[in-house]
A and B are shown apart, each in its own frame.
Chain A
Amino acid sequence: MDKLFDVELTARLLQLDFVLMALGAAAVLGLVAGALGPLIVMRRMSFAVHGTAELAFTGAAAALLLGIGVSYGALAGAVIAALLLGLLGGRESERDSVIGVILSFGLGLGVLLLWFYDGRSSNKFGILVGQIVAIEQQDLELLVGSAVVVLIVLAVIYRPLLFATVDPAVAVARGVPVRWLSPLFAVLVGVATALGVQIVGALLVVALMVTPAAAAARVTSSPWRATVLAVVFAEAAALGGIVLSLAPGAPVSFFVTAISFTIYLVCRVIAYLRGRQRSLRDLSGSDSPRAAVRPS
């Protein structure tokens, strides 16, 4: 247990190439996840992120079987998932169930594909719960390339997308092309999810894509500030998770999700305390007239 906070060992491991590679990948993912997060939360897409991640897993499993790079498989799976969800889940009432239907089938298919695969079994487990130490130069290049594309597209469509998200009726009236912004954003989320599958695994992507933004939304109502905070929180979880996992050699995923969850709890507590302060102030403001009415 004392290995958990062995600073010396951690410092030594931090000089290794594969560790630096992993940290680079995590930093890129944190940036993308944090930037997309607030919009994901406001568009109520948390479950869609989870579903997309499951199909990224299916794609990754197929790639593993075919001997192609796992990252390309994950990317293809996630983008197909995003398009499928966009096409089939148009109506809000139907969206949840469509995601459930697609994700369970995708996961089942992935299990079958892995059963066919007779390579190293740690690879199999890795796609589900993360395999950051296995990031290679070529993966990192794809990761950075996709991240840059996602961030550029997001920057271009940010304002109309925010408009369509928070105020669809007026956005439509102002000529914002709401109809194709939704599937486009779903594809961006799909790409980001595929990146996340590489690092924290298909089951835990939500911890980086959704939790930081949900935490930020508790403490600020400014869209810009929420985005900045979500990026900071996601970076803290992704980078902090890797660093903490080094010395004990424990799974990265635990530390990433634990930090993310802790930040979320802290933000909720802050929001609660602020709310109580406000209601106390309101109470004391209207205290005297109310006290006068109250029977003795």
Chain B
Amino acid sequence: MSTTGTGEAASGTGAVEMEGAALAFGDRTLWSGLDLRVEPGEFVAVLGPNGSGKTTLLKVLLGLQALSAGTVRVAGTAPGKGNHRVGYVPQQRAMDQQLTLRGRDLVGLGLDGDRWGTGLRGMRARRRKVDEAVESVGATSYASSPVGVLSGGEQQRLRVAQALIGEPDLLLCDEPLASLDLTHQRTVTELIERRRRETGTAVLFVTHEINPVLPHVDRVLYLVGGRFLIGTPSEVMTSETLTELYGAPVEVVRVGGQIHVAGAQSALCEDTVHHHEHDHTEPV
């Protein structure tokens, strides 16, 4: 892995290159001094409590939010300029049942929804591409149903197809597994992972729960209250490092290949931080 710094032309273009990046709203700093380089084919999980600036980081990479300081490049260009090389998978939301839109139309919008003009030329090639994208996520059987009547898991599969149909170099995921059951969490994760393995698409995966993606994660970016840590899961996800990051006692428990962070959530609240143990029985 290359080091962060200047003059890296020789080592190729990273999917994401951030240097000294800072973001502040008024006197509130979300994060500062952030150096992050995501290589092609790398899977980076972005963790942290609510309000720590995870989603805002994605906005910066999409060109929707300017940095307060520092530089950022996405797929070699300024963010927002090369958006067709970036796929975006949002959190699952309920969609209007009466929406005049089929699953395959949702996927098709990922291909050319941002282009002007009718696009009547090349309809056949478009149809084939949409069919392929729909099939690659195993959604063929319900692709012609209205999106509003599909289940959350079915919608998220189509979302992945929508994000991948443009063959992106970078995939930005904003809590795509939230509100899905375990089976669908696994399917959606595997679809994303397969893409990364097969075509070297870099993945930046914002999540509040690392376990569903843990087997695939190369590095973790952990954001807490203006501070952050970057490293492999085994470096970052330990009681010592997270306690230091949160500035409050945090215990990381590993059970059956899963990581559970205890105490982190109460660090969010204004009241005293309690050290929650899983066998804690006393009333707090």
Which residues of A are at the interface with B, using a C-beta cutoff of 8 A?
38, 41-42, 155-160, 162-163, 166-167, 169-176, 216-217, 220-223, 226
Complexed CA–CA distance, A38 and B80 (Å): 30
Picked from B63, B86, B100, B114, the residue with its CB within 8 Å of the CB of A176 is B114
Which residues of B are at the interface with A, using a C-beta cutoff of 8 A?
62-64, 80, 83-84, 86, 88, 90, 93, 95-96, 98-102, 105-106, 109-110, 112-119, 145-147, 159, 162, 172
Which residues on A sit within 8 Å (CB–CB) of B119?
A: 159
Known: A41-B100, A226-B100. Contact between A172 and B118, CB under 8 A?
no
Sample of 10 more A-B contacts, CB < 8 Å, known A42-B99, A155-B118, A221-B146: A156-B116, A158-B118, A166-B99, A166-B101, A173-B83, A174-B83, A174-B113, A221-B102, A222-B102, A222-B105
A275 to chain B, nearest CB (A): 10
B155 to chain A, nearest CB (A): 11
Q: Is the interface of A mostly helix, strand, loop or mixed?
A: helix
Complexed CA–CA distance, A159 and B101 (Å): 13
Known: A169-B90, A173-B62, A173-B90. Contact between A159 and B106, CB under 8 A?
no
Which residues on A sit within 8 Å (CB–CB) of B80?
A: 175
A42 to chain B, nearest CB (A): 6
**A155 contacts B83, CB within 8 Å?**
no
Leading 7 A-B pairs by shortest Cβ distance: A163-B113, A221-B146, A173-B88, A175-B83, A226-B100, A174-B114, A163-B109
Complexed CA–CA distance, A167 and B64 (Å): 16
**A159 contacts B100, CB within 8 Å?**
no
Complexed CA–CA distance, A217 and B114 (Å): 24
Which residues on A sit within 8 Å (CB–CB) of B83?
A: 173-175
**A167 contacts B117, CB within 8 Å?**
no
Which residues on A sit within 8 Å (CB–CB) of B146?
A: 221
Complexed CA–CA distance, A175 and B59 (Å): 11
B179 to chain A, nearest CB (A): 15
Picked from B96, B109, B117, the residue with its CB within 8 Å of the CB of A156 is B117
Please, which residue of chain A has its CB at the minimum distance from the CB of B115? A159
Which residues on A sit within 8 Å (CB–CB) of B93?
A: 169
Complexed CA–CA distance, A156 and B117 (Å): 4
**A170 contacts B90, CB within 8 Å?**
yes
**B116 contacts A159, CB within 8 Å?**
yes
Complexed CA–CA distance, A159 and B146 (Å): 18
**A175 contacts B101, CB within 8 Å?**
no
A194 to chain B, nearest CB (A): 25
Residue in A156, A159, A171 with the greatest tally of chain B CB atoms within 10 Å? A159
B116 to chain A, nearest CB (A): 5
Which residues on A sit within 8 Å (CB–CB) of B106?
A: 166-167
B55 to chain A, nearest CB (A): 11
Which residues on B sit within 8 Å (CB–CB) of A166?
A: 95, 99, 101, 105-106, 109, 147
